[in-house]
Amino acid sequence: MKIVIRYRACLTILSLMLTLPLAGCATTSADIHAEVPARHTISEFKDQSFAEVADPWEGFNRSMYRFNFYFDKYLFLPVVYGYEFITPTFVQKRVSGFYNNLGEVRNLTNSLFQLKGKESVTTLGRFVTNSTLGLGGLFDPATSFGLERHDQDFGKTLGYWGADSGPYLVLPIFGPSSLRDTGGLAVDSAITYGIYAAIDPFANTGNSFAISSGITTMNAIDSRHQQSFRYYESGYPFEYYMVRFFYHEKRQIESGKPLPAE
Amino acid sequence: MMYLKLLFIACLVLLPLSSHAADDGYGYPIPGSYEATILGTPASLMPVFPAEMNTRQLVLEVIPGRRKPPIFFYDEGLRCSFAYQEKKAPLVFLIAGAGASDRAPKLLTMMKAFYQAGYHVITLPSPSHANFIISASQSRIPGDLTEDSADLYRAMEVAWKQVEGDIEVSSFNLCGYSLGGSQAAFVAKLDEERRVFNFRKVLMINPPVSLYSSATRIEDLMKQIPGGPKKQGIFFNRMLSKFSQFYRYGNFVAINDDFLYSIYTQRLFTPEETAGLIGLTYRINLAGMIFSSDVMTNSGYVVPKNRVLSPTDSIFDYFLVSTHLSFMDYFNEYLYPYFQKQRPGLTKQAFVDTLSLKSIAGYLKSSAKFGVMTNENDFILTREEQDYLRQLFGERAKFYPRGGHLGNLEYKENLAYMVAFFK
């Protein structure tokens, strides 16, 4: 999920985002009839609300949700499908393995931030095993050795130390998030970038920028390739709320501190 | 993943219920009707399917010029999934169950099984699914078996026209599960008049005999919630906190199959709660149908009449209102009044009677093309209804000893039976 977008791309996307919502608004019908209250309204039910998530920016979020739908449809998914078409499945799996292995760095830093000793050792073990025996992450022997993957990120770290998720937020391209997790994403990206800048693995090639852009782009394509979610695919009119609820709840549950056994 | 799977299989073997399986020679492991319905089939007990399939998604304009409100801006036509063979082969249409889309997991599994056996496959969403209501329902009001089946038939014709040039078909067949099973029977009956497809064989999987009776039985599950169905929000929130507490006490890595399966083995939810959860899932599904139909018809049922919702408007209140409405509410306040207007003199009982396989029993009995596959512990059927199916279809009625409602549909033996039926 860590996709670094170049400045120029950001600008293009931003201008798209600003024009798209307007395009939708231009379709108000000429004949406006007076509204008649519905037969059933919320006031008649004396029950708790459910599957609710703090979402003060819902209007913005729904626009973003729609933007992502179009972005996927006209740009992202065609590229991903193109990639899937020209690359054998075997190669696709190796590519995913490579990026998933790089992601272990984020998992490791964050399990350290959460002072999870055992988990950190496991993750480090995974990273070392898969980087060596697994040929730079192309294969995943660590899992068959019983070293389970622990996905971690800075949003979870914040949650672990008690930070509230804050309002729900749908990010362009990245999709469902929260105020806290957006901050976490920024921190994780900064750490990744910092490590990368310190090592600068392609410094001697003379094409450092071109190579790293390529790697970043490929990472974005691979992330989307691994993610089967499609906006509005369910066709369910309340999909936005289902996605919001499941995202929020999963994060909430997975970032919480384990309770002591009774 | 391998490790997880092993653990999973170990759990299954260690469960006391495996002895049960040996008794009757049927290997589907989950004895409880509700549990089976929720858990479905463990991945290790599904068949292995080919990794690659020739598939494409069809987006069909079934009703030319259909106007769609802005809130449904993403709906570009009826979506069907199409898997095709490169040689001449029989084609099977698959109809999804209540509220399910053309890509519902169960439907896709069936598609793979048929594809593997050498069939062309076209899957259709249920007429009670929003996509169908918006793009393919003439009345935009789902619930009448005859009209919904006519809509389905039209959709099939359009789908067939779309792919006709690309494939060679030796025969047409029809299969549907749950509500889609009953609809398959009505579609086949319509085909006897229209003769576009001349369906060779038709299989109904876990169909209701009477829609009204089955819906009543599903609604009854909600009565097991403390305080009744009107307190579903409180129930939902309590179940959710139970779920998250369970996660936090246990030493789980993530919310994954392993975690979900241990919910079952640890008996986190009581049978009443499990029933309530099935009922609630059904309601959440139904809410999508009620809302879409109301918006499409501008009936002022849950959305104020004449209100035009934009794609960015909040519709959460409509979600809460719609989920609190039962099938009976929908039936009595929305569906039946509409058909009463269409067919003056139609009594409620007469309408209920038309929503049943019994209304076309003569036809079903006379034709050898039909078969039914269901379970002895499917809670949508009463004992009498089961007997009715047995008597109606005789040897062509296959009853499995367990599996709940559709829980064993993806089990390898069931899929094998399903495919073999069409041989």
Q: How far, in Å, CA of A67 to CA of A173, rounded? A: 8
Contact of A197 with chain B, judged by CB distance below 8 Å, is answered with: no
Res A20: pLDDT: 47
Residue A153, domain member (yes or no): yes
Quick one: pLDDT at residue B403? 96
A154: exposed, middle or buried (Cβ count in 10 Å: 0-12, 13-18, 19+): buried
- B9 assigned to some structural domain: no
| B65 domain-assigned | yes
**CB nearest A235 (choices: B129, B240, B313):** B129
Q: Give the mean pLDDT of B158-184.
A: 97
> For residue A29, is it within any domain?
no
Question: CA-CA distance, B273 to A233, in Å (whole number)?
Answer: 30
Residues B65 and B206 in one domain: yes
Is the residue at A4 inside a domain? no
Instruction: Give the pLDDT score at A23.
Output: 45
Is the per-residue pLDDT at B184 higher than 90? Answer: yes
Domain residue limits at A65: 54-255
As given in the structure block, the two tokens for residue A147 are 């070293």
Q: What is the pLDDT of residue B9?
A: 39
Number of domains forming the structure of chain B:
2
In this structure, are B152 and B277 located in the same domain? no
Neighbours of B384 (CB within 10 A): 9
In terms of domains, do B195 and B66 share one? yes
Euclidean distance between CA atoms B29 and B22, whole angstroms = 10
Of the three residues B323, B348, B373, the one that is the final residue of a domain is B348
A99 part of a folded domain:
yes
B130 at interface of A, judged by CB pairs closer than 8 A: yes
Read off the DSSP letter of residue B395: G
* pLDDT tens track for A212-236: 899 999 999 999 999 999 999 999 9
CA distance B94 to B102: 9
Rounded CA-CA distance B262/B334 in Å is 42
Q: Which residue of B has its CA nearest to A245?
A: B240
When comparing pLDDT for B176 and B257, which is higher?
B176
> Within this chain, do residues B58 and B203 fall inside the same structural domain, yes or no?
yes
Among A21, A48, A151, the residue with its CB nearest the CB of B254 is A151
Shortest CA gap B388–chain A (Å): 35
Domain edge (last residue) among B283, B316, B348: B348
B330 with B224, same domain? yes
The backbone torsions φ and ψ at residue A112, rounded to the nearest 5 degrees and listed phi first, read: -70, -45
Return d(Cα B102, Cα B111) in angstroms, integer.
10
pLDDT tens per residue, range B91-135 = 999 999 999 999 999 999 999 999 999 999 999 999 999 999 999
Residue B30 lies in a domain: no
A108 Cβ contact partners less than 8 Å away, ≥ 6 residues apart: A120, A123, A124, A127, A152
Contact A47 B253 (CB under 8 A): no
Q: Are residues B57 and B168 in the same domain?
A: yes
Query: Exposed, middle or buried by CB within 10 Å (0-12, 13-18, 19+), for A205?
Result: exposed
- Vertex A7, ends A5 and A11: CA angle to 5°? 100
What pLDDT, on a 0 to 100 scale, did the predictor assign at position A204? 82
Check if A23 contacts B (Cβ < 8 Å). no
Which of B220, B216, B261 minimizes the C-alpha distance to B9?
Answer: B261
Judged by a CB distance cut-off of 8 A, whether residue B244 touches chain A is yes
Q: Which of B296, B315, B348 is the last residue of a domain?
A: B348
Q: How many Cβ atoms from other residues are within 10 Å of residue B174's Cβ?
A: 28
With a cut of 80, say whether residue B63 has pLDDT above it: yes
pLDDT number for residue A32: 67
Low-confidence ranges of chain A (pLDDT < 70): 1-32, 258-262
Asked if the structure places residue B39 within a domain, the reply is no
Residue given tokens 């993943």 in the structure block: B1
Contact: B315, A24; criterion CB under 8 Å: no
Number of independent structural domains in chain A: 1
**Residue A204 is which amino acid?**
N
**Same domain (yes/no): B133, B179:** yes
Q: Does A117 touch chain B (CB under 8 A)?
A: no
Complete DSSP assignment for B83-103: E--SS-EEEEEEE--TT--TT
Q: Please state the length of chain B.
A: 423
Q: Are residues B230 and B165 in the same domain?
A: no
Indicate whether B75 and B199 sit together in one domain: yes
pLDDT in tens, B258-310: 787 788 888 888 888 999 999 999 999 999 999 999 999 999 999 999 999 99
Whether B159 and B94 have beta carbons less than 8 Å apart is answered as: no
ipTM: 0.89
Percent of chain B with pLDDT over 90: 80
B319-340 mean pLDDT: 96
- Alpha-carbon gap, residue B190 to B198, rounded angstroms: 10
Residue percentage of chain B with pLDDT more than 70: 95
The CATH number covering residue B398 comes to 3.40.50.1820
pLDDT at B21 over 50: no
* pLDDT value of position B42: 87
Residue A29: what are its φ and ψ, rounded to 5°? -75, 160
Instruction: Give contacts of B131 with chain A, Cβ < 8 Å.
Output: 235
Is residue B330 domain-shared with residue B316, that is, in the same domain? yes
B235 and B180 both lie in a single domain: no
Which pTM does this prediction carry? Answer: 0.89
B57 and B148 belong to one structural domain: yes
What pLDDT is recorded for position A94? 96
B53 is a domain residue: yes
Please tell me the distance from the alpha carbon of residue B97 to that of residue B387, in angstroms, as a whole number: 22
Find the domain containing B156 and state its range: 45-210+358-421
Under an 8 A CB cutoff, do A35 and B307 touch?
yes
Does residue A28 form part of some domain?
Answer: no
A15: closest CA of chain B, how far (Å): 19
Find the farthest-apart pair of alpha carbons in chain B and give their distance in angstroms, rounded.
64
> Is residue B99 in a domain?
yes
pLDDT for residue A259: 65
Q: At B111, list the tokens.
A: 């598609």
Substitution target in B310, B313, B317 with the highest count of A β-carbons within 10 Å is: B310
**Residue with the two structure tokens 């896709």:** B108
Question: Measured between CB atoms, which of A42, A66, A261 is closest to B317?
Answer: A42
